[in-house]
Structure 1
């Protein structure tokens, strides 16, 4: 697809699928449209994609199940799209590993903005010089490489992170031992594409704790500051 971003769209509604595909393609995206999890698996086995747009209400395997297994096995951003507007559906989708969500009906322009934002967060950012390009945060034996968007544990193992999880960890590393409110974290990780759904930050913090903390139920690194927000309680060195 050349320099186009490649999108795998999973949507069983023909009218919506055609609308999304046409709009994204008219805005310079390459779109492959399938209607089920089984078809998605076939496409992922034969080609690489930059992002998945995933409807939750699908025939056969539902979108939440697809989101969980794909995010567990592949490093590819996922935006979930659902006709359900209840908070619980958004929370579950984020817990399953989605990077963002959008509730139907929506303006295609908003979907495009979210796709671009997620892709921007997922790509290594070019720096002004070689030293800046190799910037790494270190804390308590952990290493966070900004250019490679790579997280390495004290034992030397690479820890898989979704784009949203990495951005949240980056925000904490930039502000160690400082309380960050949910609004601040939303702005740091999602910017203008964020909605008012603060609980999404709680879900991301929980996911991050599962990967960083020895005991996520009693976290020592990412602490909850009651009525205020969250704080990375660790000295951070920038190399």
Structure 2
């Protein structure tokens, strides 16, 4: 589950966006009061969506305080169209400025992009001899039980997204949106790739140990 902190004084908008993102295993906790948002456990969240027009404190001041004290990607979501706000917001620590109104699909894409960038910076190489799976994205290499897997591009892309979200349910839409080789979450091609991966992992589809199908939701990798 991706945990999103939102500081937004329009509760209807936060509910609307939250309902959309919940389809992709994302959960929004919104604070209409910026002071409450600042006093929340910010380190427990994966990303921040921040409005600029807030009661009692300007969103740019909130952005500055959070960027100076926490390592969390910040998306400014604002109807303020002044280019000065956009430039200043990016200068003081925001990672992206998304002007309102926008399609929630665009917000989802921005979140995915920022989280992938963060993972690349933190886990570019993830090798530990004691674990079942190890991977190095810089070399596009996945090792299973100390042996490197021979994978097609599509197999690699699907398996890496499952590994990066291990023990969490990943929806079909999330997998497709995070890959280059797939384009339709309703296509049987994803099921074929999952089947091929299970064969390479010697994972019995009737008694799975690694890649689990979660009916109506997606897939989950455990190890």
What TM-score results when the alignment is normalised by the length of structure 2?
0.54
1:40 aligned to 37, 41, 65, which one?
A: 37
Give the structure 2 partner of residue 98 of structure 1: 94
1:24 aligned to 21, 25, 29, which one?
A: 21
Aligned pair count reads 131
SS of structure 2 residue aligned to 1:57 = coil
2:48 aligned to 49, 52, 63, which one?
A: 52
After TM superposition, give the deviation of residue 84 of structure 1 in Å: 1.6
Structure 2 stretches lacking a partner, 5+ long? 129-134, 139-223
After TM superposition, give the deviation of residue 134 of structure 1 in Å: 11
2:60 aligned to 64, 80, 87, which one?
A: 64
1:108-152 residue CA offsets vs partner (Å, 9 max, x unmatched) = 00001001111111113455978x9598xxxxxxxxxxxxxxxxx
Give the structure 1 partner of residue 12 of structure 2: 15
Inter-partner Cα distance in structure 2 for 1:114 and 1:97: 16
Change (3 A) 1:128 1:31: closer
Contact 1:21 1:33 (C-alpha < 8 Å) held by counterparts = no
Does residue 118 (structure 1) correspond to residue 114 (structure 2)? The answer is yes
After TM superposition, give the deviation of residue 44 of structure 1 in Å: 2.1
Change (3 A) 1:129 1:18: closer
SS of structure 1 residue aligned to 2:75 = strand
Inter-partner Cα distance in structure 2 for 1:20 and 1:134: 31
SS of structure 2 residue aligned to 1:88 = helix
The runs of at least 4 consecutive aligned structure 1 residues that moved more than 4 Å come to 125-130, 132-135
What TM-score results when the alignment is normalised by the length of structure 1?
0.50
After TM superposition, give the deviation of residue 17 of structure 1 in Å: 1.2
Contact 2:76 2:89 (C-alpha < 8 Å) held by counterparts = yes
Change (3 A) 1:128 1:7: closer
Inter-partner Cα distance in structure 2 for 1:134 and 1:120: 11
SS of structure 2 residue aligned to 1:39 = helix
Structure 1 stretches lacking a partner, 5+ long? 136-239
Larger radius of gyration: 2
Contact 1:9 1:53 (C-alpha < 8 Å) held by counterparts = yes
Residue pairs, 1:194-209, within 5 angstroms? none
